[in-house]
Structure formats: C-alpha cells, structure tokens
Structure 1
Amino acid sequence: MAVLQVPKTCPAGVVVNEGPDFHVEVEEVPVPVPGPNDVLIRLNATGICYSDIHYMLNDLPIPAMSTFSVRSPGHEGAGVIVALGSNVTNWKIGDRAGIKPAYDACFNCELCWTGRETYCDESPQIGLQFPGSYQQYVLSPARYTSRIPEGVDDFSAGPIMCSGSTIYCSLKESGLRPGDWAVFPGAGGGVGHMGVQLAKAMGMRVVGVDGGEEKRALCMKLGCEAFVDFEKVKDVAEEVVRICDGKGAHGVFVTATSASAYASAPLMTRISGKVMCVGLPPAGTAIAGADPLLFVGKNLQIIGTKVGSLLDTERALEFAARGLLKPICEVFPLAQMPEAVKKLQSGKVAGRVVVDFNA
C-alpha cells in the first residue's frame, strides 16, 4: 500500500444528539486505512447539502446514521489521493479526486450496465452508511472515485459532486430542448442555482422561483430570464405561466423542499409539461402530484430523479471546466462548520455552503 503523509487522526464534523435537536461539533477522529481496492482522500473542501441535515435530523424514511455507527455526514468532497490500496492501479498519489453521494455499486446488474447505478441495490450512501466528507480523510472505492479536471478548483468540484451532478441528471432525463422553458422553484439554493446555469448552458429559457432580493440578484446574474419572488407574488404559478408565453413551462425542476413548491409545480406546466422531483422534503410533509383531471387534461408527467451517476458527474465537471458552471459558495473555515450547518438549516443561504479544511 503506497502512502504519503497520512496522520493517525484528523478533524471531522460529527453529529451530536442525532434527531430533531442535533448539533455538530468538530473533533479528532481516527484516519481510516484503505482496503485493497480503496483510495484514501485528504479533502480540501466539502460542500454542505440539505440531505446532510435530513440525515442528522433523522427525518427521512431510511435507517439513521447511528444504525451504521456513522457520525460524520457529507457527500460533496474534493481533495487529493494520499494512500492507495494494494490492488489499486488506476490512481496515483497526488491525483485530484472527489466523492459523491453514492459510495459504490455492484457493476453487475442491468441498472449498472445502463448508467443508472445510483439505483442499484448495492449502492450505499456515503455520509449515511460510511463516514462522509465532514471528515477530512475519507475512503472511497477506487472504481467509484471521480477525477477532478484541470481548471475546476476544489470549492467548485465539491458541490458539483452532488448538487451539480444531480441537477444535470434531472435536466438530462427531462428531455427538454434548447428554447424550452425550464422553471426552478428553489432557484437560489445549492442545487437550484447550478440548475439555472446548466439549463442556460443547454439553451433553455430559465425562470427562477425563490424568495428575497439576494436570491433574485443571484438568479438573474446566473442566467434567469425572469424571477418570481414567492414572498411578493400572490399567485406564483399564474405568474410563471404568464412569463412562459402564457402557456406554462415545459419543465419544472423542484429543487425546493417545501410542500407549497411541490403543490404549485403542476400548475406551472403547459400541455405535456413535466414536473421533475429533485428536492427532498421531510417524510410525510409534501405530495408530488395533482388532481387526476389535471394529469389528463395536461398530459402531465411527474418524474423523480436521484443523484447523478459517474457519467453525470463527469459531464457536470466538464461544464465547469468550460466555464459554464460555477457554484456560488459561501466558504467557512473548518472551526465554523457547526455555524455553516445551522445557516443552511435556517434556509438563509444563497448558493452553496462550503467548508475549507485548510482554513
């Protein structure tokens, strides 16, 4: 096993009192040792995703982090390879690498063979079933680790591993074409603001839906043709339809997690429109759907998409390398990771929160 400058312990943000009253503390934890097929990555940056909040709140219908003895969530890490397992030949020490929400896959089933490996039954989640990117040194299976291209810094690459890849996947699966109207409830958030950029780069006409002047300014800067402020507009869906030629959106990408965002999305679409479900509300708090009469009358489709695949992640990173995708990040030093988590939980973040392990 090749090794380079690996300490015995490393700093990590860990969840304390998992559940509704959780908080995060930074403490030293043991550095893991790579197995034969693993790489060890020293992270320079990690994005903080609202899925992490869900895991720490334990408000999704899945087993808790503690079930797997995991204390550090996180799945948007970027850094360098510092140790290789004995069987690893496709990486070398010093290579730049990133980790994504899916930890691995079986690569021996139809889903894996068709590029849908994140739905594989043997695709566990990092930061839930394995220690995640809130921990500075993390393991990753060599075959499922993503390469970071030149021209993409770690503070961009980290968030793209989840948010950028996830919304790229949803845009791809929507089938929208250049010139189509793409609407993003939650456009000023971590996933939404990258969706705005990618949709714009793909030639779509983009409408942002969110609340507040800070998010309006961000969305318009990133390429929205129009912005609807739900704090000021009485009937958001009606205003979206008006903007979209009076017919409605070809696709509504719900990156927000509120019940109201999901309830209004079908009303924003035109005939044969699509509602793309991306944001994860707490279990039992929202419904993605509408009266069947609306489905019939509009030939409406509602589609859920999960995190992006290996290829989706590579494609999203390519957009970044070409200068067409740039996560807008508020960077916190490691010691302020607990404050960063609280700020995201409060819903007061425009763009993405990223933690700098070296600050």
Structure 2
Amino acid sequence: MATETSGKTTEYEIPKTCKAGVVVNEGPNFHLEVEDVPVPEPGPNDVLIKLNATGICYSDIHYMLNDLPIPKMSVFGVRSPGHEGAGVIVKLGSHVKNWKVGDRAGIKPAYDACFNCELCWTGKETYCEESPQIGLQFPGSYQQYVLSPARYTSKIPEGVDDFTAGPIMCSGSTIYCSLKESGLKPGDWAVFPGAGGGVGHMGVQIAKAMGMRVVGVDGGDAKKELCLRLGCEAFVDFTKVESVADEVVKICDGKGAHGVFVTATSGGAYASAPMMCRISGRIMCIGLPPAGTAFAGADPLLMVGKNLHVIGTKVGSLLDTDKALEFAARGLLKPIYEVFPLAKMPEAVKKLQGGNVAGRLVVDFNS
C-alpha cells in the first residue's frame, strides 16, 4: 500500500517476506513450489520492484532442468527463475536519481552490463562479459519483490498494461532484435517455425507491422487459427504435410524465404530451415534446444550454393526492449496470453514444459 503527501506517492508499505515460485530438486525431475521468501533490500544503485505479472518462458524451464551448457541456478544460490516481470517501483537505492517510487517498471533477461566496453557502446550490451542473467545468477521474476539495477531497468509506457509488458520484456524484445538484425525489408518473406509459441506469435505481429509477408509454421488447428488471426499470410502445419520446407518454398514465390526465424526449439525445425531459404536467405537462430539436440546450418555445398547466412541473436538490448514496447503502445503488438493465479504457477510451468501452449502464459501475483 502507498501513502500519499500533497497528491504525490512517497512511500510503500513493504513486507518482510513475499511469495515466490522456487525450484525444488533442480534437474531432470524438478518441480516448482510457491513459498515465502525474504524481500530483498536495494543496494545504493538498485530499485526494488513489486511485480504484478511475470511471463513464463521456456528458458526458465531450461534453467530448472539444467539442460543447457551453463552453470546451474544453485551455483549462484538462486531458486526463483523468471525474466519477464512488470510492476511498480516501491523503494529506491540511496544513489538512484532517474526513478521515483510509483514508476512502472519491467525487468528483462539481462540483469545489467558494464557500459564501459565496445559491446555496450554499440548496443550489444547483452553480450557484454559483465552482463549476468536474472533468474539464473540473480533471483528472477517468479519472486514478487525483486531487485533491478536502476540503470538497466525498463520504463513501461502509458497504455501498456503489465500483462502485456511482462512477456515483451523477453519474447517481444528478443524477436524484435532478430528481425532488426536480419536486415529484411518490407515485402520480404519472413517464415516463423514455432509461430504459435510465446516468441513466434510476437514475431508474426512485429514482422507484419514492419511490412513483411509472414508465413507461420506450427502444429494444430489452435496454432493455425492464432497465426492467421495475428497476420500470417499462410500457415504450414508440420503435422499434416510431408515436407514443411517444400510447402514453404511453394508459398514464397517458389523461391523460398528471405528469412527463417527459428523460434522453435526442436532439432527438426533447425534442420529444415536451410531448405526453406531462397538464395542469400538468412537463418535466424532464436529458440534454444537442449544441448546437443540440434544443429544450425547445412552441408557446406548447400550453404555455398545458396549463399546462406546463419545468424544467432540473443535477448534484446535496452533499446530493443523500448522499441518492442513502442509497438505495443501503438497497438501493433498484443501478446496473446493465458493468466494463472500465483498459487497455480507450478501448473503453468508444467503446461509450458508439455508444449501445449498457444501464445504466452502469464502469472498474476495479485490473484
């Protein structure tokens, strides 16, 4: 609860503990439980955010499964993953001048950066060696009260609610970054394997808003309906065709896609991507398969013969996040999500792990 003086919010009543989804039995047989955890105290350069919503991302599941070639959450003493949070700032560190209590704010996958290297200076700060990951190296957005460095916290614009902003912090900014780096132009064919998923369905909307011709690839009638409603010019159901690549090439003027944005995490999606491309096509690597289960690229003869480009893009930068939020503020990006109350966060995680999600799952901390 906030108190007010002369119409201005000055202070929030901050509890000693808060609810959080925490991983139990980290590894292949993990499960999530909702527990009370201490509310952290902001350092001099931090803000304390009370989250109203968090998206559930498959990267969180990778962290809890330990199936990526990176250190475990437990190495850093972290039990709560999550990196798609949106809420309100309730307390400032003693040195913070660029925020005020009551401001709306969001956290994204990258926790901070050094801002003193070439990568940071050129908008590639998520690749900075001093850019740790929230929800892996720091408690993430499955915890209602979280810390964020003031200089790396994102402002949420007017007209964008927290259930929209949360998923954009990761999925929206990540796919915006990939679309930007692909160099595709209005009128180019953009194909999205995994188009009905959390990242893919936002890519469909942003690509459409950028003037691209969009083809969705996914499985099932629910994903088809969603993709066509969001702006796909065509949809290929991988469960119903003999060759996804042949169908995509046929749709894309018989020549193939200018860019294939692999938001799916399967080895099959990556294996078929080069076959979907036209001459000089770009294979954009976004989805993270478990280590050793997929390969991005093709036989060098095909790569050379088609002048193919394979490009990996990580999570979006500060600027990418702001740009993705701008699309939402203009009504051009509307994440499709199913809301779960906090007590059912474990069910949301299990549902995403099972792969039966069209759009995004979002947890409401206030229900």
8 A Cα contact 1:181 1:244, kept in partner? yes
Following superposition of structure 1 onto structure 2, how do residues 34-183 of structure 1 map, counting pairs within 5 Å? 34-183=42-191
Using structure 2 for the length normalisation, give the TM-score.
0.97
Match of 1:305 in 2: 313
What do residues 235-282 of structure 1 show as CA deviations (whole Å, max 9, x unaligned)?
A: 000000000000000000000000000000000000000000000000
8 A Cα contact 1:205 1:224, kept in partner? yes
Aligned partner of 1:94: which letter?
G
User: Which of the residues 235, 259, 268 maps onto 1:260?
Assistant: 268
Q: What secondary structure sits across from 1:284 in the alignment?
A: coil
Q: What secondary structure sits across from 1:208 in the alignment?
A: strand
The unaligned stretches of length 5 or more in structure 1 are none
Match of 1:357 in 2: 365
How far has the Cα of 1:52 moved from its partner?
0.1
Q: What secondary structure sits across from 1:159 in the alignment?
A: helix
8 A Cα contact 1:104 1:141, kept in partner? yes
Match of 1:286 in 2: 294
Equivalent residues, number: 358
1 CA distance for matches of 2:193 and 2:299? 20
Q: What secondary structure sits across from 1:227 in the alignment?
A: strand
Aligned partner of 1:294: which letter?
L
Aligned partner of 1:18: which letter?
E
Q: Does 1:223 align with 2:235?
A: no
1 CA distance for matches of 2:204 and 2:73? 32
How far has the Cα of 1:4 moved from its partner?
1.6
Aligned partner of 1:309: which letter?
S
1 CA distance for matches of 2:259 and 2:347? 35
RMSD, aligned α-carbons: 0.5
How far has the Cα of 1:3 moved from its partner?
4.8
Match of 2:278 in 1: 270
1 CA distance for matches of 2:355 and 2:226? 15
The unaligned stretches of length 5 or more in structure 2 are 1-9
Match of 2:347 in 1: 339
2 CA distance for matches of 1:49 and 1:5? 30
Aligned partner of 1:30: which letter?
P
1 CA distance for matches of 2:14 and 2:235? 48
8 A Cα contact 1:211 1:229, kept in partner? yes
2 CA distance for matches of 1:311 and 1:201? 18
2 CA distance for matches of 1:45 and 1:342? 18
Q: What secondary structure sits across from 1:43 in the alignment?
A: strand
Match of 1:232 in 2: 240
Match of 1:241 in 2: 249
What do residues 128-178 of structure 1 show as CA deviations (whole Å, max 9, x unaligned)?
A: 000000000000000000000001000000000000000000000000000
8 A Cα contact 1:3 1:84, kept in partner? no
What do residues 113-139 of structure 1 show as CA deviations (whole Å, max 9, x unaligned)?
A: 000000000000000000000000000
2 CA distance for matches of 1:167 and 1:157? 14
1 CA distance for matches of 2:181 and 2:225? 28
- Tell me which stretches of 4 or more aligned residues in structure 1 moved more than 4 Å: none
2 CA distance for matches of 1:266 and 1:23? 37
2 CA distance for matches of 1:128 and 1:302? 27
Aligned partner of 1:10: which letter?
C
2 CA distance for matches of 1:234 and 1:332? 37
8 A Cα contact 1:182 1:252, kept in partner? yes
2 CA distance for matches of 1:273 and 1:286? 20
Q: What fraction of aligned residue pairs are identical, expressed as a percent?
A: 85
What do residues 280-335 of structure 1 show as CA deviations (whole Å, max 9, x unaligned)?
A: 00000000010001111100000000000000000000000000000000000000
User: Which of the residues 4, 13, 26 maps onto 1:18?
Assistant: 26
Q: What secondary structure sits across from 2:12 in the alignment?
A: coil
